[in-house]
C-alpha cells in the first residue's frame, strides 16, 4: 500500500470537512496556503467544495519556479548558449518562458546543451563524465531543495571537480511570508498553511518568528488532502481561540528543529544574499541564497562573470499579482486564452506548482461561463 | 518542485540507500539522513532521502484525525 493512502481516505476527509463546517460558523476566514503543492492538492482533490463558504483559501508565492524573475532565467539561457557549457536543469524550468518567448527547451532545440536532471548529483556526475565541458547546475527551489544542492557541491569539492559550478537561485520561505504580510495590497489573511517538506529541512519552529510578528497562526501541513483539511481545521480553531502560534500538523515527517546535517552543509556552501528580486513581490531582503566565499570557485555567476539581467514580465502576464494572492488566475486577461499550459506566457501556468496551472487543470469547471 | 514522496527503504549502503516508491526502485543519497535503516519509511526528493516518516507518529496522527472527524455535535 502506498504510504500516502491513509491520508487520502475520503471518509476521513469528509469527517474533517464536517468538523470545519461546525466550527467555522461565526465568521469568515481567509487562509493562505503558501506552497504551490498545497494549491494543487486543494484543486486536484476538490477540497474547495468540501470547505464551507465561510473559509476562503488564497494561494501564495510558494512556487520557486513561478517567483524566479525572468531576468534570472534569461541569464541561465545565456549560459546554456555559451560554447562548451552543459546546463543541467530540473525539468520544471525547461518550458518557462523567458524574455522574447525564449526558454531553455527552445534554446536546446537551437543547439544549446541543456540536460534535464532530477537530482543535483546527476549534474555533478555530468561534470565527472565530461571533463572537457563546463557543467553548470541551474539551482532553483525553496529550502527543501537547497541541502541537496549543498551536498552535490560538497561531493564535487571532495572529488576535486574543476568543471562543475552552480547558478544559485535558492529562495527562503520565511522571508516570503514576511513580504506577503508587508506588501501594500496584501489580501486580508487570518493564517497560513505552512510548507511541510521545507519544514523537514528547516524545522517547524523556523516559522515561529513570523507567527509572532504578524500574530497569525501557521500550521505546518503535509500534502495529502486529509493533511490540508486537518491544517484548515487547526487554523480555524486557533483563530476562534485568538491564538497565533506555529502548529506542526506534519510531525510524522517534519521535526521542530532543523535537520542538523542539512543546516551544516548549507551554511558551508551558501550564504544569504542582501536582497533578491521575486516576481510579484519585488526585492526582498535576506530572502535568497548565493554561493559562500569558501565555495566561490563553484559560483557560476563569478566563474562566467555573469551580467545581471533585469527583464520585465510579458505585458499581459498577471503572475506577479497572482503570486501575491491579489488576483485569481481566472481574473487574468489571458488566462486560458493566449496563456495555457501548452502555450504559457508566464511561469504560473507552466510550473507544476503554479496557481494558474492548478486552476486551468482542475478549477475551470467552476468558473467557466457557458456560451450564451 | 519542492514535493517529496514517501518510499520504503529496502537496503542501505555507504552514503546511499535503495528506496521502493510504489514498486519502482530508486537509489537515493543518504547524505542528509545518515542513520536511515532498511524497513524505514522516508521522504524522497531530488535523489535524496530527506526525512524519516515515523510510523508511530503517523498512526497517532491518523487516530487523532478520525477522532476530529467523528466528533459529532448533537
Has residue A229 got a pLDDT over 50?
yes
Choose among A143, A139, A140: nearest CA to A174: A143
CA distance A57 to A63: 16
Band of pLDDT at residue A286, cut at 50, 70 and 90: very high
Q: How far apart are CA A107 and CA A97, in angstroms?
A: 11
Residue B70 confidence (pLDDT): 79
Contacts of A60 in chain B (CB under 8 A): none
Flag if B48 and A148 touch (Cβ within 8 Å): yes
Q: What mean pLDDT value characterizes chain B?
A: 91
Nearest-5° Cα angle at A132, A127 to A133: 55
pLDDT value, residue A369: 55
What is the mean predicted confidence (pLDDT) over A161-167? 98
What pLDDT score was predicted for residue B74?
Answer: 38
CB of A301 within 8 A of CB of A271?
Answer: no
- How is A3-72 classified by DSSP, letter by letter? TTGGGG-HHHHHHHHHHHHHHS-SS-EEEEEEEHHHHHHHHHTTHHHHS-TTEEEEEEEE-HHHHS-HHH
pLDDT at A366 over 60: yes
Q: Is the pLDDT reported for residue A372 higher than 50?
A: no
Tell me the pLDDT tens digit for each residue of B35-65.
999 999 999 999 999 999 999 999 999 999 9
Q: What is the percentage of chain A residues whose pLDDT exceeds 90? A: 80
| Beta-sheet pairing, A134-141 with A164-170 | parallel
B8, burial (CB in 10 Å: exposed 0-12, middle 13-18, buried 19+): middle
B3, A15: Cβ pair inside 8 Å? no
The neighbour count for residue A22, using CB atoms within 10 Å, is: 14
pLDDT at A169: 98
Minimum Cα–Cα distance from B57: chain A residue: A252
Pairing mode, strands B5-13 and B41-45: antiparallel
Burial grade of A309 (CB within 10 A; 0-12, 13-18, 19 or more): middle
Using an 8 Å CB-CB cutoff, list chain A residues near B62: 6-7, 12
- C-alpha cell recorded at residue A268: 558551508
Joined grid coordinates for residue A203? 524545522
Q: How far is B69 from chain A (nearest CA, A)?
A: 4
Mutation for A interface: B43, B45, B46, most A CBs within 10 A: B46
pLDDT of residue B1: 52
Contact across the interface for B65 and A230, Cβ inside 8 Å: yes
pLDDT in tens, A336-352: 999 999 899 988 998 88
d(CA A233, CA A248): 13
Q: Is the pLDDT of residue A370 over 70?
A: no
Question: Using a CB-CB distance cutoff of 8 angstroms, which residues of chain B are in contact with residue A148?
Answer: 29, 32, 45-48
**Beta-strand relationship, A282-285 and A289-291:** unpaired
Closest residue, chain B, to A154 (C-alpha):
B31
Instruction: Report how far residue A274's alpha carbon sits from residue A285's, in angstroms, rounded to the nearest whole number.
Output: 6
Residue A164 has pLDDT above 90, yes or no: yes
Average pLDDT, chain A: 94
User: Tens of pLDDT along A298-330?
Assistant: 999 999 999 999 888 888 899 988 888 888 999
Q: Is the pTM of this model over 0.90?
A: yes
The pLDDT of residue A137 is above 80:
yes
Residue A56, Cβ neighbours under 10 Å: how many? 17
Average pLDDT for A75-82: 97
ipTM of the complex: 0.93
Q: How far is CA A253 from CA A149, A151, A321, A366, B49, in A?
A: 21, 21, 33, 34, 12
Amino acid at each position: 500500500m502506498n504510504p500516502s493512502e491513509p491520508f487520502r481516505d475520503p471518509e476521513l476527509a469528509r469527517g474533517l470537512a464536517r468538523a470545519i463546517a461546525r466550527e467555522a460558523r461565526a465568521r469568515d476566514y481567509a487562509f493562505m496556503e503558501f506552497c504551490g503543492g498545497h494549491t494543487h492538492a486543494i484543486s486536484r482533490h476538490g477540497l474547495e467544495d468540501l470547505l464551507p463558504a465561510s473559509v476562503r483559501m488564497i494561494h501564495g508565492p510558494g512556487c520557486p519556479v513561478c517567483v524566479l524573475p525572468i531576468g534570472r532565467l534569461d541569464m541561465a539561457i545565456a549560459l546554456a548558449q555559451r560554447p562548451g557549457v552543459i546546463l543541467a536543469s530540473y525539468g520544471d524550468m525547461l518550458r518557462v518562458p523567458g524574455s522574447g518567448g525564449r526558454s531553455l527547451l527552445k534554446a536546446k532545440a537551437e543547439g544549446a546543451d541543456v540536460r534535464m536532471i532530477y537530482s543535483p548529483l546527476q549534474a555533478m556526475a555530468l561534470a565527472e563524465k565530461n571533463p572537457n565541458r563546463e557543467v553548470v547546475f541551474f539551482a532553483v527551489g525553496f529550502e527543501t531543495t537547497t541541502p541537496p544542492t549543498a551536498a552535490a557541491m560538497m561531493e564535487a569539492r571532495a572529488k576535486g571537480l574543476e568543471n562543475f559550478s552552480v547558478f544559485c537561485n535558492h529562495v527562503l520561505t520565511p522571508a516570503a511570508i514576511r513580504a506577503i504580510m508587508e506588501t501594500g495590497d496584501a489580501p486580508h489573511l487570518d493564517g497560513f498553511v505552512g510548507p511541510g517538506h521545507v519544514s523537514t529541512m528547516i524545522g517547524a519552529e523556523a516559522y515561529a518568528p513570523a507567527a509572532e510578528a504578524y500574530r497569525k497562526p501557521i500550521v505546518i501541513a503535509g500534502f495529502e488532502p486529509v493533511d490540508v483539511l486537518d491544517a484548515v481545521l487547526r487554523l480555524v480553531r486557533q483563530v476562534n481561540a485568538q491564538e497565533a502560534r506555529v502548529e506542526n500538523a506534519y510531525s510524522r515527517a517534519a521535526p521542530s528543529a532543523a535537520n542538523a546535517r542539512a543546516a551544516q552543509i548549507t551554511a558551508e556552501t551558501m550564504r544569504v544574499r542582501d536582497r533578491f528580486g521575486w516576481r510579484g513581490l519585488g526585492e526582498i531582503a535576506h530572502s535568497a541564497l548565493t554561493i559562500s566565499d569558501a565555495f566561490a570557485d563553484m559560483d557560476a555567476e563569478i566563474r562566467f562573470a555573469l551580467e545581471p539581467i533585469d527583464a520585465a514580465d510579458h505585458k499581459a502576464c498577471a503572475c506577479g499579482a497572482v503570486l501575491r494572492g491579489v488576483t485569481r488566475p481566472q481574473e487574468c486577461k489571458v488566462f486560458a486564452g493566449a496563456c495555457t499550459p501548452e502555450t504559457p506566457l508566464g511561469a504560473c501556468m507552466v510550473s507544476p506548482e503554479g496557481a494558474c496551472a492548478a486552476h486551468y487543470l482542475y478549477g475551470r469547471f467552476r468558473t467557466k461561463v457557458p456560451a450564451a | 518542485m519542492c514535493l517529496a514522496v514517501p518510499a520504503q527503504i529496502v537496503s542501505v549502503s555507504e552514503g546511499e540507500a535503495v528506496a521502493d516508491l510504489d514498486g519502482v526502485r530508486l537509489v537515493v543519497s543518504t547524505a542528509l539522513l545518515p542513520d536511515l535503516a532498511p524497513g524505514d519509511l522516508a521522504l524522497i526528493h531530488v535523489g535524496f532521502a530527506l526525512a524519516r516518516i515515523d510510523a508511530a507518529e503517523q498512526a497517532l496522527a491518523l487516530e487523532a484525525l478520525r477522532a476530529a472527524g467523528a466528533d459529532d455535535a448533537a
